C-alpha cells in the first residue's frame, strides 16, 4: 500500500538517505579492510561460526548484496561462514571505476580469502555473475580452492554464449521508467545510481522466474550500480555475455556443485548441458519449484542441498 505524505508536509530530501549507508558512513556495520592492487578499501563483512572451522566464503551476485544469502549462516554449525559485499557493492565502500576492473575481481576474492582463512583453502559460493567470477578466481588461485558452489552461472565458455544468450527485458516497464525519469532526477552520484537501480531489481530477468509476471521479492539493501556497469562493460557485447570466463582454467579436480533451479532458463538442465563438462569433479544439484532466486524462494531446500553436497564432496 503506497503511503502518501501530503505535499505541504514534506521537506527537502537528503540524497544520502536514498539508500542504506555503507561501512564508511555507518561504523556500526561489521567491516574489514582489504588491499587490492595496493589500495586499501573497507568492505562489509559478515561472519558466522567458529573461525577455526573450515571456511565457506559467499560472494553475492552483481547488483546484489549479502542479504539474500544470509540463509547460509545456518551452515555455521559446521562451517565458518563468511559473506562480503565486494568493493563498490552492497554496503561496502564505493570506489572509482578504475578499481572495479573485471580482471581484478579474482584479486579481491583472494584478498578476502586470505583475510578470513589465512593459508587454508576455502569453499566458495557464488550466484549468477559471481559464480562466473569465482571460476576466474579458480583459474588463478586453484591451490586455495577446496570446492565451489556455483549457483546458476551463465555459459562459462565464450563459444557457448551466443547460442545461450539470455533474453532480457530492456523494453520492460522498469527499464523504461528508469530512463524516462532522468528528465527530472538523474543519477548524479553513487547514492542516486544505486537508488535508481533499486527500481529495476524486483522484475529481474523474466525467464529466470517460475512466474515471469510475479517474481519473488528480492531483498537487496543496496545494489552497486557503478560496479555492475563496469563489469557489464567488460563481459557484455551485443546484448549478451561475450567473455571467456573459463580462460586459464584447464583441467581441474576441485569439486564443483553447479546448483540450478527447475524454472530458470539457466537452471539445472542448462548447467548440465552447458557448464558441467568443464569440471572433472562437477555435479549438478537441482531444486524444483523455484527459479533463479531459489535462496529466498525455498531457503530450507537451498541450504539442505548445499549442506548435503558439502558433506559428500568436500573432505
Closest CA to 23 of 9, 41, 5, 10: 41
**DSSP code of 244?**
-
Phi, psi at 225, each rounded to 5° = -65, -50
Q: How far is the CB of 299 from other proteins (least distance, A)?
A: 16
Beta bridge mates, 125: 58, 149
| Interface mask toward other proteins for 248-277; x: CB under 8 A | ------------------------------
Nearer to other proteins, 220 or 284 (CB): 220
- Residue selected from 178, 276, 296, 301 as contacting other proteins according to rule CB under 8 A: 178
* Residues 118-137 close enough to bind other proteins by CB under 8 A: 127-129
Q: Identify the residue among 49, 54, 60, 216 touching other proteins (CB under 8 A).
A: 60
- Contact in structure between 291 and 267 (CB atoms under 8 Å): yes
Secondary structure (3-state) at 253 = coil
Task: Please tell me the distance from the alpha carbon of residue 310 to that of residue 37, in angstroms, as a whole number.
Answer: 32
- Tell me if 70 sits within 8 A of 46, measured CB to CB: yes
Candidates 38, 159, 183, 315; binder of other proteins (CB under 8 A) is: 183
Q: Kindly state whether residue 163 participates in binding other proteins, applying the rule CB under 8 A.
A: no
Per the structure block, which three cell numbers stand in for 168?
A: 532480457
110, 174, 272, 296: residue in contact with other proteins (rule CB under 8 A)? 174
Q: Residues in contact with other proteins, total (CB under 8 A)? A: 92
Which residue in the set 35, 77, 118, 185 belongs to the binding site for other proteins (CB under 8 A)?
A: 185
Of 33-41, 115-123, 197-205, 302-310, which segment contacts other proteins by CB under 8 A? 197-205
> In angstroms, how far is CA 134 from the centroid of its own chain?
10
**Which residues contact residue 172 at a Cβ distance below 8 angstroms, ignoring those fewer than 6 apart?**
203, 206
Which residue among 238, 250, 251, 300 contacts other proteins (CB under 8 A)?
238
C-alpha cell, 194: 544505486
Stretch that binds other proteins, among 110-118, 171-179, 274-282, 301-309 (CB under 8 A): 171-179
Helix (H) or strand (E) holding 240: strand 240-241
Binding range to other proteins, per CB under 8 A, among 40-48, 95-103, 137-145, 278-286: 95-103
Question: What single-letter DSSP state applies at residue 120?
Answer: S
Residue 158 DSSP symbol? G
Q: Kindly indicate which of the ranges 30-38, 202-210, 244-252, 253-261 contains the residues binding other proteins, using the contact rule CB under 8 A.
A: 202-210
Give the residue, chosen from 102, 141, 164, 175, that forms a contact with other proteins under the rule CB under 8 A: 175
Amino acid at each position: 500500500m503506497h503511503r502518501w505524505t501530503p505535499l505541504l508536509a514534506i521537506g527537502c530530501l537528503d540524497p544520502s538517505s536514498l539508500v542504506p549507508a555503507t561501512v564508511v558512513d555507518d561504523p556500526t556495520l561489521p567491516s574489514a579492510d582489504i588491499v587490492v592492487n595496493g589500495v586499501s578499501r573497507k568492505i562489509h563483512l559478515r561472519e558466522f561460526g567458529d573461525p577455526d572451522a573450515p571456511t565457506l566464503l559467499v560472494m553475492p551476485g552483481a547488483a546484489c548484496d549479502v542479504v539474500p544469502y544470509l540463509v547460509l549462516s545456518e551452515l555455521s554449525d559446521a562451517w565458518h561462514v563468511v559473506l562480503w559485499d565486494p568493493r563498490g557493492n552492497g554496503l561496502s565502500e564505493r570506489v572509482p571505476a578504475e578499481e572495479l576492473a573485471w580482471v581484478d575481481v579474482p584479486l579481491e576474492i583472494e584478498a578476502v580469502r586470505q583475510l578470513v582463512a589465512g593459508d587454508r583453502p576455502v569453499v566458495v559460493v557464488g550466484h549468477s555473475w559471481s559464480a562466473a567470477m569465482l571460476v576466474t578466481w579458480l583459474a588463478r588461485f586453484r591451490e586455495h580452492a577446496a570446492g565451489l558452489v556455483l549457483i546458476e552461472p551463465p555459459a562459462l565458455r565464450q563459444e557457448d554464449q551466443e547460442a545461450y544468450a539470455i533474453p532480457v527485458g530492456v523494453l520492460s516497464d522498469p527499464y523504461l521508467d528508469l530512463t524516462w525519469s532522468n528528465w527530472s532526477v538523474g543519477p548524479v552520484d553513487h547514492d542516486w545510481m544505486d537508488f535508481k537501480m533499486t527500481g529495476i531489481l524486483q522484475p529481474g530477468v523474466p525467464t529466470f522466474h517460475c512466474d515471469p509476471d510475479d517474481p519473488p521479492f528480492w531483498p537487496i539493501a543496496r545494489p552497486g550500480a557503478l560496479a555492475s556497469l563496469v563489469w557489464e562493460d567488460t563481459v557484455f557485447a551485443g546484448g549478451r555475455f561475450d567473455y571467456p570466463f573459463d580462460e586459464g582454467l584447464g583441467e581441474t579436480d576441485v569439486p564443483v556443485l553447479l546448483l540450478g533451479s527447475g524454472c530458470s532458463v539457466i537452471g539445472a538442465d542448462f548447467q548440465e548441458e552447458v557448464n558441467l563438462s568443464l569440471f572433472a569433479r562437477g555435479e549438478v544439484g537441482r531444486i524444483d519449484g523455484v527459479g533463479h532466486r531459489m535462496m529466498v524462494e525455498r531457503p530450507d531446500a537451498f541450504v539442505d542441498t548445499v549442506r548435503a553436497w558439502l558433506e559428500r564432496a568436500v573432505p
